[in-house]
Amino acid sequence: MKRFSLLSARAGATFMSPAGLLVGAFVIVPFFWVIFVSFTNRSLLGPTALNPDFVWFQNYIELFTSGRGVEPGTFGFSLILTVQFVLFSALIGQALLGLLLAWLLQQVPKSVKGFTETMVIGAWILPEVVIGFAWFAFLDYDNGTLNGILDALGLPRGDWLLDYPFWVIVVFNTWRGTAFSMMLFNSAFASIPPSYFQAADVAGASSWQKFRDIGLPLIRGHVVTDLILITMWTFNVFTPFLLTRGGPGGQTEVLSIYTYRVAFRDFDFGKGAAVGVVVMLINLAFALFYLWVARKRTPRKEAT
């Protein structure tokens, strides 16, 4: 017997089809195509542009055995650099700062809350090229705002983009992305009934004790979600390119910039695709872990 539903299966399939076509063509097809290309020596020009040879694992072998160790410009260097970049800018920078801010915002006057929230979120929503340029000006050796402030404080100035490029993109990415963690934790804290904290107040708990004993344990699930998401995003982020172009001397060439250079500057699509596949495998591991955590947290819905 035909079951009643608000939308029949046939209508449902029709409703799904535009999205299905777009996602199929621009997400799922590329997924398989990149795997295919990674086994070829396809390039932009020359004989292998139109009739690439099948080279099996050649691209992958080259990635992991460049013969130059892990100097800048190699895949190994970019991989290790990206792991460090994620560790410092996402896990330590964004998550910790976001947590601190979210906790502080619960207990400061509205005006200060509004100001700080707007600044942190502003860093996050402005277009990436604008941000890249603002930082370029901010860090300028001769006239930049940062060195100007250091001068005023009597501290030594620095040529940051040249001398500390890695730490620049770490601080930059922390600055750029803290908003997400802050907002996630903020709404997590806000969803805790105020009576929990009032009960602790009555019991004489300090802010730190309330954070440690009530706030943090109750938002543990959100912390896990946040860490996985910002790790994935930071792992794939291309924005540092707009500040450093991967330089100087490849010192800030994170994986996404490496892929771009190999594919679109060296025109070695096969190798670029191989990097893409490695990145996807790492993404897949994170995504599966995330879905597993998310499923564990929400009880299964009724089958209907």
Partner 1 sequence: MASVTFEKITKRFGSFTACENLDLEIRDGEFVCLLGPSGCGKTTTLRMMAGLETPTSGRVLIGDRDVTAVHPKDRKIAMVFQDYALYPHMNLADNISYPLKVRGESREARHAEARRVGDVLQIGHLMERMPAQISGGQQQRTSLARALVTPSEVYLFDEPLSNLDAKLRLDARGFLNHLQRDLGITAVYVTHDQAEAMALATRIAVMDRGRIVHYAPPLEIYHRPATTFVASFVGNPPMNLIDCTARIEGGALVLEAEGLTVPKLPVTPAIEAAAAEGKMTFGVRPEHLWIADGSEAGQIAGELFANENMGPESLVTLARTKDSRLTARLFTDEPLNLPETTRLGFATTHVHLFGPDGVRVPGVDE
Partner 2 sequence: MGRFAHLHFSRVGFTALTALIGAIFALPLVWFLFAPFNPRAELGLAIPRPFSFSNFGTVLENDFAIRALLNSLIQSVGGVVCVAFAATLASYALSRSSLPGKGAVTYVLLLFSSVVSGSAAMVPIFLMISRVGLIDTHLAVIFVFAGGLLPTAMFILRDFIDGIPRSYEESAMVAGASPTQAFFDVALPVIRPGVVVVVVWAFVNIWGSFLIPFILLRSAEKMPASVAIYSFYSEAGTPIVTLLAAYALLYSIPVVVLYLFVSWKFGFRFFGGIKA
**CB closer to partner 2, 42 vs 88:** 42
Question: What x/- string results for residues 244 through 283 when contact with partner 1 is judged by CB under 8 A?
Answer: ----------------------------------------
Q: Which is nearer to partner 1, 111 or 304 (CB)?
A: 304
Q: Quick one: which of 175, 189, 197, 211 contacts partner 2 (CB under 8 A)?
A: 175
- Tell me how far apart the alpha carbons of residues 76 and 210 are, in angstroms, rounded to a whole number: 44
Residue 3 sits in the site that holds partner 1 (CB under 8 A): yes
Q: Which neighbouring-strand residues pair with 40?
A: 54
Neighbours of 252 (CB within 10 A): 26
Shortest Å, Cβ 301 to partner 1 = 12
> Cβ distance 263 to 44 under 8 Å?
no
CA neighbours closer than 13 Å in the CB half-sphere of residue 107: 12
Beta carbon nearer to partner 2, 41 or 186: 186
Q: Which is nearer to partner 1, 3 or 10 (CB)?
A: 3
Query: Interface with partner 2 includes 255 (CB under 8 A)?
Result: yes
Does the protein bind partner 2 through residue 192 (CB under 8 A)? Answer: no
User: Which residue's structure tokens are 């930082």?
Assistant: 135
Under the criterion CB under 8 A, does residue 42 sit at the interface with partner 2? Answer: yes
| Among 2-10, 43-51, 165-173, 233-241, the segment contacting partner 1 (CB under 8 A) | 2-10
Residue with smaller CB distance to partner 2, 67 or 246: 246
If DSSP codes are grouped into helix, strand and coil, which group holds residue 59? Answer: helix
Residue with Cβ nearer partner 1 (3 or 110): 3
Among 48, 83, 91, 113, binds partner 2 (CB under 8 A): 113
Cα→Cα distances 187→98, 227, 271, Å = 12, 16, 43
Assess 301 for contact with partner 1 (CB under 8 A): no
Which of partner 1, partner 2, none does residue 1 bind to, with CB < 5 to 8 Å depending on kind?
Answer: partner 1
Residues 6+ apart with CB under 8 A from 132: 239, 242, 243
Contact flags string 13-32 toward partner 2, x per CB under 8 A: x-xx-xxx-xx-xxxxxxx-
Q: How many Cα atoms within 13 Å fall on the side-chain side of residue 55?
A: 20
Q: Is 1 in the site for partner 1 (CB under 8 A)?
A: yes
If binding is defined by CB under 8 A, does position 183 make contact with partner 2? yes
CA–CA distance from 264 to each of 43, 82, 235 (Å)? 10, 20, 20
> Within positions 125 to 144, which residues make up the interface with partner 2, using CB under 8 A?
125-131, 133-138, 140, 142-144
Stretch near partner 2 under the rule CB under 8 A, chosen from 58-66, 86-94, 161-169, 269-277: 269-277
Report the SS3 class of residue 74. coil
DSSP 267-285: -BHHHHHHHHHHHHHHHHH
Pick the piece of the chain touching partner 2 (CB under 8 A) from 62-70, 83-91, 155-163, 257-265.
Answer: 257-265
Q: Rounded to the nearest whole angstrom, what is the least distance from the CB of residue 280 to partner 2 in the complex?
A: 5
User: Which one among 99, 168, 170, 263 touches partner 2, defined by CB under 8 A?
Assistant: 263
Residue of the chain from 4, 26, 32, 208 that contacts partner 1 (CB under 8 A): 4
Nearest Cα residue to 97 out of 168, 171, 164: 171
Whole-angstrom distance, CA of residue 275 vs CA of residue 259: 6
Residue with tokens 């964004």: 94
Which residues contact residue 263 at a Cβ distance below 8 angstroms, ignoring those fewer than 6 apart?
Answer: 269, 271, 272, 273
